[in-house]
Structures are given as structure tokens and as C-alpha cells.
Structure 1
């Protein structure tokens, strides 16, 4: 639960930091949204002291069903999106001209007056729909009057191509730069008499080009009352940037720059946070450096990653520990609590660190059952760590018994088993480190062989025979090594014998004479009677 709570808190911190760097904020204490308008960033606002001037007033009015709708000023112009890059999306009305089967005409004209704002010439298209239709748009550009239009016609529905406004059922023209105060009229040339059966109406409107795809169904269906239209806005009345900087009402605040966008036809200027800063350039001290926030997010994400990774590793270690008989070993060791010969259960990280992450340079031996690494424990003790190749899951109980019994063998001629690690996929065995290599290396290396006198060789043989006799006959539970050979006999600095590698050994209870498991690994010394009969010779004495 604690880990889950920490993760939730970290995720909330990331979300909060992300919101801090990306949200377009209103003035403190001001309404930030209205109905479906998700963000009302300053210089726009809905209340006194929440907007820069009257040009940026958003009238958030409730409808009959108490759903708030954002209108620009006190007009009927509905605002659906506000971009800090100097663009508004509003709903403008569609001009219609329709006829019924008796030739009666109903029509409506539309207009859109955005004050100092202009109709975006880069985002919108003037569009006319109908097979007997004429659309006209008028407005002003500076001090000049402007008017233009296009004709759309067709004789039959089959003349129309879906997706095309080339003049058959749909025509489209560009909007000039700087157009304000527009009026749109839709009309018919022949009162739709020739095409009434499939097209009784003409429509004309200004729409964002990307928001409309013409279809032949538009000729017979009723077009929506309003369409999305893009409008350019800017800070006006103070001149361009150079002049505005000297104005007392200059809108760009600390850590922000003034600019005049190339695709902007509204005139005036806009503000943006300097490179490396983000948020609202129109609010004092709101442009903030992204570096600290980014570092914070990076730290938080790293924390979450490491926590989740460590949690997975812990679960994996627990799985391997249980799979490798860890609980059984703990139970058996607890019965011997307080004795000096109790095997130690090592952690995976401790042995990983001891071998420098099982560096190949630390390898001191390889065999049929695994690889042996030289390791340095935290207490600076030198050990040999054997990493098995594979473990038979059906033999886990016997493996644990072997670890328990072998760790109790305190014979000067047996390599001491110090403990094991069960948190890895295959168990790791930890032995005392024997410094002088193997007998095989000494007797088969021409440089080393002459240095061992016969007396020493005889002592090594006698010590080896003595320890085998001890294992077979004197140990509390007899142990048959089953893989005695010169490469498994280690020597210390005094050439004292240390029998090692009990990977193929079997524990033999005193009352059991028959063994079903045959010799494994490379064949070395084995009692001849055991080799031929699979019976322990000492049991017949």
C-alpha cells in the first residue's frame, strides 16, 4: 500500500508539472472555462479585471437548459476555441436560399463582424453549395470595400464528384488577407426549377477548409445552421511591436517577446514566452523556465522506473527462492539455530557485487555442472561461487538436503560449503576459496610437476583416501562423491588436499543399500562394487 501511495503521489506530481508547463492560464481567480470552451486564457476573460479590454470579453451566458455558452462580447458570435497563437474559432451562420414545390422562396443572409479581428485568409474558404446557386461575399479591407462570389451548377446528381468543389454542385474561393465585417448572400439563378427534385436550396458560408468535405448528399440534406470559422486576433490600438513597447498598456510581460506573425492579417502584435520558457506571456511573471520542471519530471519518472523495476526484481527473487526450495532450507536451518556449522543464505545482490556482476575475468573453473567464480564478500573474505547450469526441479528437496548436510562437514580435507543463494534462476553455491589450484594442474603441467616431491604426492593420495573413507563410513549421513578426479581435488598453499565439487554426490541414509541413480559427469574414481552393482560397499561390511 505504501508503494502504491508513493506511485500515485509521483504520478500526480508529473501531471501537475505537465499542467504547469502546458496549460494556457487565465488570470488568478478568474473563470477558466465556459461550457464546451475548455480554456479561456488571458487576455480573454469573462469578468471585469479578467480580460485585457472589451475586445477580449467572453460573455458566458446560460441557455434555457442552464448550459453555459461562450459568446464574444454581447453578440451572438459563439466561441468554440481560443489559441494563444492569435486564432479564434467561432460559429458563423450559413446563408440559405430555398424553394418549395410551389416555387415559394425562403432565404436568410449571414454576417460576421469581429471588430478589429479579421477573417483568417490562411484557414478559411468561401464556399457555395447547390446546382443552381450563386454565392456572394462582401466586406472591407482597410478603407476599401470588397466583394466576390462564385457560381455552382449541375444538371443532374451524377455530374457531382464527392470531395470536389470545382463548380459542379460546389464552388470555393480564397479569402483575401485583412477581410473584416463580412456579409454572405446565397441566391439562385433559375429558382432551382430544373434541379428541385434533388436540390431545392443554395447555401453560402465561410468555413475552415479542413472542416468541410463536400458530398453529393449536401445537395438534398439540410446544411447545419452554423459552421466553424477561423478568426485572427491580436493586440490592437498600440501599433506594431516597436511602437507598442513604449506604450503604457504594452501587453507582453516578463520573459516574453513581441512578434508580428507572417500569417496574421489582424494587424497589431502578439506575445510569446522566450525560448526555454512556457505558459502565458500576457500574465505578469507567468512565463517560467522549463529546465527545472523538466529535471523534476525526469527525476520523478526515474524514481517510478526504479521503484517498479525493484518491485519486479523482488517478486522474481521471491519466485526463485520458493522455486529453489528456500523455505525448506530455512526450516531445516532453523532446527540447527545457534550452531556454528549452520549454512548461510546469501542475497543475489551480494554475490553479484562479489563477482563484479559475474565478470568473465573472475572465472576460475568450468565443469559439467556449472562455472566457478572468484569472489570478494563485503567482509573481504575470499570465496569461490559456483553458478550451476541447470537444476532439476524434481530434485530440489534432495538438493536442499545436500546443502544442509555438506555445510555441516567440518573436515580439513573437504572444501567448506559456506552457504548458497536461492534468489536466482539457478542456485549459487558459496565455498571457501582454495588458493593453489587443482591437483590436475600440478601433475599435468610440465612446469609444476617436478616441484611436487614424492612424499607430498603420497600425502595427497592418503588425505584423499582418508576423506573418502570419512564421507562413506564416518559421516552421520554417508555421502558418495561419484566424481572424484584430479581436477576436483584442490590444494592450498601447503599442498593440503581439499576435495571439491559435490555436484554429482548422493546422500545415502544408513538403512538404504540400493541406489537407482547412476554416475553423472566425467567418470573419476568410484568404489568398484558401487560401480558394478549400484550398492554402497560399506553397507556389506
Structure 2
């Protein structure tokens, strides 16, 4: 008997191994899957009939070179189905062509409205030359950047691209577009300062080929491609696998939905019904057996992987001819199955509830930093013992399931919604961006910092929620929005008076002085700007958004960190050295003070050259004795020249390029308090004729530095 069973197993094995194995297909029927040396797998296709939609149509010119027809005819170097990326060639842009450019536009990569985004993990930002390179968003926020130093006749070491004539860095997220600002320090040689180049480069191409960004005629870039729900009508996953929904998270806090087929091996094309190798499962069914599938799901409930076991014989539920005895047995089995089904369903509901509870705990601990919060609590319980943990159900109800109509504003760290708790209290709920492991510290950092801060000019934290896919912060609701909107929105019924502006500046100064000197551990905010200053019902200022803030030990004079901040407010000294001090907040406050005095934006779209930066524009006006001409009309109308010059001088001291010569925030707060209390509101027009400005400049003392870096203002001016 055992010999007979072994014989049957041998026959089954031979039938499985001798069954013909189908070769996997990469393109749709009657479509070519190669253009020159490049494989073109579906959903891409050579010709419209062969692609999933026109964006994926490939034009194979001269049967040798593939181009993406709708993406400005960019040359395709390769398609990766595992990483969902397509590598394309883009033109090289040098410093000579344009020192500040919208890189997406000049390079011919128009991604708006397309299913493509610049890949975060597939690209690296490379700068070759001498000077600084900054990657920015369209609104001027700094994404990343790096600096190089050069000596005479120093060659570029492409295998050691770490700051000597060459530097590279990662980008913080997927991007639809970006801009680059270059500051070249090359003044001699045959290039005459025209050799600097910066670009996003495909990591694989850069690592393998080691080509020069400044010499190559074109630059390979990696783009992530996405499929919409409509596209899935034209996709049948191989082996009838279920198509899976995924999210591609962009830097600007939006997430694109995409749909993918699970890929069993690198050599397969899972987006075609016959795109995978003839699997053991198909051989198993051809041999008279059936496949028993096992599915593995990730923490979000999406399919992560699947496997199967080949079971010889027919499936148990396959029908066979039955006798009357079989009918009786079948009815009995059906009744038993019905009772078992009810039991299984009840067990399923109980298990699902348990899994959901465990998943929330897992999300709390692993994804949203619950363990990190508990670690902070163990270090110093006083930091987080006042933090209330809200449930996801409470906050969903408070914000009407995060309705778009409840949005108060969007920022670099997330979106803020207006909500009402069950006790009737109005709150602001900040829904953070989808975070990776490196960003968890920022969120927990904001929770811990706001938990220990108790000041009338700092937004009060009420609690947080760590159960959801993205973490949530709950804070007090501030009625009158941001200072930025109040200054620059002309639709308000009445403008801010000089007295109100002085009061707001004094409030912010007191808040920063408190953070720097009065908390148990000094706190540096690192992103002071008018969009992070809120106004309550009495137009008193409250500082918010502590996601990038840092604790600093009392015995530390500075802290070396990754540069973070907003262009226009960023301390040039901090940008060059990456060393954050309390004086960096003083510089940013100086820009806010100038913004209050002039009513101008920190980065102007109408001024050009060095005047584009408000800080530089103001300092030049002070040096040339024409500062009264750039002040806001309401400020000039209500203040005396002496008062305004005192405030302007204070702003100049805050903007000193050498941090050692800036005042402390405590000194600034005392001086502003004195100016505000001595100011008598008036509507009498004061003399606005230009003033010769000379002796006051002696207050502004510039220290010497041996650094080869340029300031942020210098970058803008060039």
C-alpha cells in the first residue's frame, strides 16, 4: 500500500514538472515589449493601443529610442515594476543658464496633472561646483540643500562627493515640482564661474555610472508612476490576484491613491493576466490537485504577500453524483455547516474587534511614536504628565470626520481643523502629514515641548491622539487666524494700527524670551514666522507650531542640527554652520518685526535682485537713509519719526549677520515694552521726508568670519 501511494506521488510530481511552463509576457497581445535595448512592460506600451492610458504611451523613434509622448518627449531609460518607477533623461541646467530657476519647467518635466512624481527614494540631490545649492518648494520653503568648498585646481571626486567640490543629499519626500537656487563661488578658471550645476539624479545611475552632473549633456531622473481607480478597468493581475490600493505621500501633505498588483517575482509583469511565469499552482491544478492560499496582511489591513500549498485531489466542495443517502447526509451536513457558520461569524466579529484594538495599539506604539512618548515620560514625567490622550472616535466626531469645510489652514507639518468637543469647547485639531520613522521625533517633540510650556503668548496644548494612521494634536482654538493673513489680506475692514503692531511684536518677544530663559530646559523654536503667530479675540499674539523646535541643555552654547526653516526668515549664520542658537530665533523675529513695520512679504515677487529678500531690502534702505519710504502708510501716519527709527534700529540689530552682536530676546522684549508704553496713538500725519541715516549705523557691528559660505540674503540677491 505504501509503495502504491509512493507511485501515485511520483506520477503527480512528474506531471507537475513536465507540464509546459508558459513564458511571461511583458506587453499586451500584438504589442512589442522592446524599443532598442529598453524593455517596455505594461502598463506602459509602444503606441496608445498598447498602454493603460495616454500618459503611459511610448513613442519608439527609429525603433531604437523610447520617449514618453505626453511627458514632453523625455527619453525613457528603464521601467521598474517592483519600485513603480520610470527613469527618464532630462536636460542639464548650469549656473550660467540661470542662477535661480524652476527646475521642473526648464528641464522639461511638467508633472502637474500627470500620474508621475519625483521619487524620494530613487533620487539624490547632487551639486557639483563651488558654493551653495538650495532646493525649494514653489512657495519658497527650503526642502534641502548642501554646500561645497573648493581650493585652486581641486578636481571633483565623484566617488567621494561629501563637500569638496561636490555634495549630495536626500530629498524629504515625493515632489510634483521644485526650484533650485545656486550661489557659485567660482571666479577664475576657464569656466569663469559657469561650471556649477545642481540637479535631482537617479541614485542607481549615479552610483553605477559615476558621471558628472556638470559635464553630462543629460541627467537621469527617477519618477514614481501611479494608477488611478479608472485605470484598473484595463488591468487584470496575473493569477487573478487582487489589485491593492496604496498611497504615495507628497511633501506638501497630500497623498495620491495608486493601485498595484502584487508581484510574485522580479521577472514577472503582474499587470497582465498572463504576465507571470506559469506558477506551481497552475501546474498543481493541471495535475489534478488544488491550491490552498495563505494571505499575509500588514498593519493597515492591506495585502502584503500571499503563498499557497498544493493539495493533491479535488477540492472538498467540488460536486459529485449523489444518492438519496447522500442527500440525507448532505442536509445534515448543511445544517451543521449553518450552525458552524453562525459560530464562525460570531467568532469573526469578536476576532475582528480584537484585531482592530490590537492594530490601534500597534499604530500607537510603533507608527505614531507612542513608545517614544513613553520614553520621554520615563526620562522626565513632568514633561508629558499633563497631556490628555484623545481617542480617534472623539476627534472624528469633533471635526465632522475631518470635513474640508472645517479646515483652518495648511502648513509644512500638517493640516489644522476646527472642532468641537462633547463638552462644547472649541478646539484646533492638527492632523500631521503621513510620517516616516525619521519624522516621528518631530511630532513627539512638539507634544513634549507644548506639554511643559505655560505662557499666555504660546498656544496651549490640550492633548493628542496616537491611534490613527497619522498622529493628531489638539490645542486651544485661536479666533483671528495668523498674523500673516492679518498683515497681507487686504479684505479686512480695518488695518492693524501701530499700537496693535507694537503689542503683537512685544507679545512674541515675551514668548520667545520665556522659551529661551524661563523653561526648565531652554527651547529654540527654529521656525518663527508670521504664519506661526496666531491672534486671539483681543489681537494678542500666540506662538504656535513647535514641530521643528529643539530642547538645548543649559551648558550647551549651540546645537548642530539638520537645517530647517522657511526661506526669508532663515538665519544665514544658522544655514551656513547648521549650529542653532537662541540668536537664530532673534534673526527670524527681526524679519517678523520688519514685516510688521513695512507690511511687505518676506520674499517679494515684485522686487528683483538683492531687494527680493525683505531683510536685505530693509537693511539697504536703512543704510541709504530712505527707510521711511518703505514703511507701511498706517505706521508712518500714527508714529513719530523718533519712535519709528528706534524700532527700525532694533530690527537692524536683530538682523545682524553676526549672531554675537544680536540682542537677546529678553532685551528685545524689554525694549519693545518700553517703546509700546511710551507710544501715544495719534492720527496726525507726521513728517515723512527722507532722513539722513548715519550715526545709528554704528550700532550695527559686523563681525569678521573666515567662512567661505554666503548668507541666505546673498543667495537670493545673486
TM range (shorter): 0.3 to 0.5
TM superposition score normalised by structure 1: 0.42
TM superposition score normalised by structure 2: 0.32
